[in-house]
Amino acid sequence: MANTATDLTEEDAADLQFPKEDDLSTFSRCNIFDNSDSTYCANCYCEVQSKYILCEKCKVNICLSCFSNGAEFLNHKNDHDYRVLSTNFVLFENSDWTAEEELKLLDCISNYGNWNLITQELPNRSVNEIIQHYEYFYLERNGCKGFPKVNFPDVALFPELVVPYRFRLADTDEPPRYLSNTVGFKSLAGYNPARSDFEIEFDKGAEDILSNLEFVDEDDPHYELLTKLQCSLVEAYNRRLQERQRWKNLIRSHGLLLVRKTHSWLKRYDNTINKNIYEKMIRFMQLCKPTKFEMLMEGLHRVGELKLHISRLINLRKIGITTLAEGRLYFKLKQSHEANKKSLKLFRQDPALNWKACKDSNFTIISKCSRRRSFAPIEISGMPGYSKLSPQEADLCSTVRLVPVTYFQLRDTLVSECRKNGSVSLQTARKLLKIDVNKTRKLYDFLLQEGYIQKTSSSIS
């Protein structure tokens, strides 16, 4: 059909459904949709929405605005035959999704990557419906065999989700019945398994509230007031009893009966969560169910482990190791080096094999002289607070065998003392820190050298 009316309005062009007898769903499977630019106007390059025009001769798309203005471009003339197309048709077989919804779905996935936000753009579809549709027609390529094939990793093929946490439900079982006056009995935090109750009650002074209650005579002029006061005391006692029972249930449900086992469980988080943090976290134990709190702690523990791994990888990258094979070889050689270093040290300490020491006539006397044992540096990379250390501080912590968090606490103690008195002596530092004297001396000298503290004139050496 020749188009002679070039001044059609946008509404008139939208009402033209030519050809009437054609099924637009069959046209949707035409090869025109294989063109990457098939949804854009060939004149103004805007994205066509809802209804648009297809030039039968040029095989290009034209938006309604350009069509109604009689736009001519390239080889296209405004008297060419055309079709009025719409995106309001079903694109795939066995589906009730229109082409317009399909376009909106793909655009939202590209822009958002979040199913909840996509649901807001498609209010008539639920989250599960959107996910199932996308997986069936696009990922599994049931909509078109020309879709790119998705290679699923082995992790995605596991039948069950692997979780990083473990439930400690066994800790809530009935504890063993130790004999009285034994270490095991004391480790139960006062719990008596034979009575299934605690020997020492929580808030054991709660009954003192009722100890001074007396009978009130009805003829007393203040009978009503005294009765209300006594009722208030009884209500307060009941609230304290409820709190006592709540703490009992909390200790049982979270498996806190065995004190030593609880401490060993928390000790597991020293290097990943940090003692100061998990001591604050356990205060919220009363607000969570046992499994939920366990999941929270194990999740934080897993985060700490990942940080340790990342820190080690960063250190390996700094020394030029970029592949797993190089990393395995590095650790293998490092282990061999440490073993050889240890055997060489033992060899030098053996008087029968150390020929240099044999030249000295006083060798027997020298060998008896005890030398201070030197300890190997520790690996502190990835520990809590490691990222805040300067290279000099990291070297000091590794050599002196101090955890970064402990180093910060000791440093802040000496710095605050220096600010208070204007200077700090070595003797004062030993009294404040209360650690090994050699560690104190090295830490004290380092802080003096770095300018954190100032030395007093009476400081001892």
pLDDT tens-digit readout, 64-119: 888 888 888 888 888 888 887 776 777 788 888 888 788 888 888 888 878 888 88
Q: Tell me the three state secondary structure of residue 275.
A: helix
Helices (H), 80-168: 99-111, 115-121, 127-134
From 240, 167, 163, 242, select the one nearest 209 (Cα to Cα): 240
Q: Tell me the three state secondary structure of residue 148.
A: coil
What average pLDDT does the segment 257-285 reach? Answer: 84
432 contacts 440 by C-beta, under 8 angstroms: no
Six token digits for residue 369: 């002289």
Task: Say how many C-beta atoms besides its own lie within 10 A of residue 101's C-beta.
Answer: 21
Q: Band the pLDDT of 163: cuts 50, 70, 90.
A: very low
What is the C-alpha to C-alpha distance for residues 259 and 278, in angstroms, rounded to an integer?
A: 16
Question: Which residues have a Cβ under 8 Å from the Cβ of 342 and sit 6 or more positions away?
Answer: none
Q: Band the pLDDT of 9: cuts 50, 70, 90.
A: very low
**pLDDT confidence of residue 357:** 54
What is the C-alpha to C-alpha distance for residues 171 and 261, in angstroms, rounded to an integer?
A: 9
Q: Could you identify the residue written with the tokens 């655009």?
A: 107
**pLDDT confidence of residue 238:** 92
Backbone phi, psi, residue 53, to 5°: -110, 135
**pLDDT confidence of residue 25:** 38
Cα–Cα distances in Å, from 373 out to 61, 345, 433?
A: 85, 12, 22
What is the C-alpha to C-alpha distance for residues 62 and 76, in angstroms, rounded to an integer?
A: 10
Q: Number of C-alpha atoms within 13 angstroms, CB side, residue 138?
A: 12
Q: Tell me the three state secondary structure of residue 62.
A: strand
From 418, 413, 421, select the one nearest 448 (Cα to Cα): 418
118 contacts 105 by C-beta, under 8 angstroms: yes
The CATH topology of domain 386-450 is Arc Repressor Mutant, subunit A (1.10.10)
How many whole angstroms from its chain centre is CA 165? 13
Instruction: Give residue 326's region: left, alpha or beta (phi > 0; psi -120 to 50).
Output: alpha
Backbone phi, psi, residue 196, to 5°: 55, 40
Whether 165 shows a pLDDT value over 50: the answer reads no
Instruction: Give residue 190's region: left, alpha or beta (phi > 0; psi -120 to 50).
Output: left
Pairing between β-strand 61-62 and β-strand 197-198 as defined by DSSP bridges: unpaired
- Taking only the tens place, the pLDDT of each residue in 221-263 is 888 898 899 899 999 999 999 988 888 888 878 878 777 778 8
What is the C-alpha to C-alpha distance for residues 425 and 174, in angstroms, rounded to an integer?
A: 55
Six token digits for residue 84: 């009025």
Cα dihedral 59/61/64/70 (nearest 10): -50
251 contacts 257 by C-beta, under 8 angstroms: yes
**Domain edges within the chain:** 1-89, 98-162, 176-267, 324-368, 386-450
- Tell me the pLDDT of the chain averaged across its residues: 76
Q: Band the pLDDT of 3: cuts 50, 70, 90.
A: very low
pTM of the predicted protein model: 0.42
What is the C-alpha to C-alpha distance for residues 402 and 394, in angstroms, rounded to an integer?
A: 9
Least confident of 8-17, 80-89, 441-450, 452-461: 8-17
**pLDDT confidence of residue 312:** 86
What is the C-alpha to C-alpha distance for residues 266 and 419, in angstroms, rounded to an integer?
A: 36
Q: Tell me the three state secondary structure of residue 337.
A: helix
**pLDDT confidence of residue 175:** 64
Instruction: Name, of 89-93, 150-154, 264-268, 353-357, the range with top average pLDDT.
Output: 264-268
Backbone CA torsion sign across 44, 46, 52, 53: positive
- Taking only the tens place, the pLDDT of each residue in 339-369 is 898 888 888 777 766 655 555 544 444 444 4
Cα dihedral 33/36/38/39 (nearest 10): 110
**pLDDT confidence of residue 356:** 57
Q: What is the helix, strand, coil percentage profile of the chain, to 5?
A: 50, 5, 45
Cα–Cα distances in Å, from 48 out to 37, 101, 106, 185, 390?
A: 11, 14, 15, 79, 58
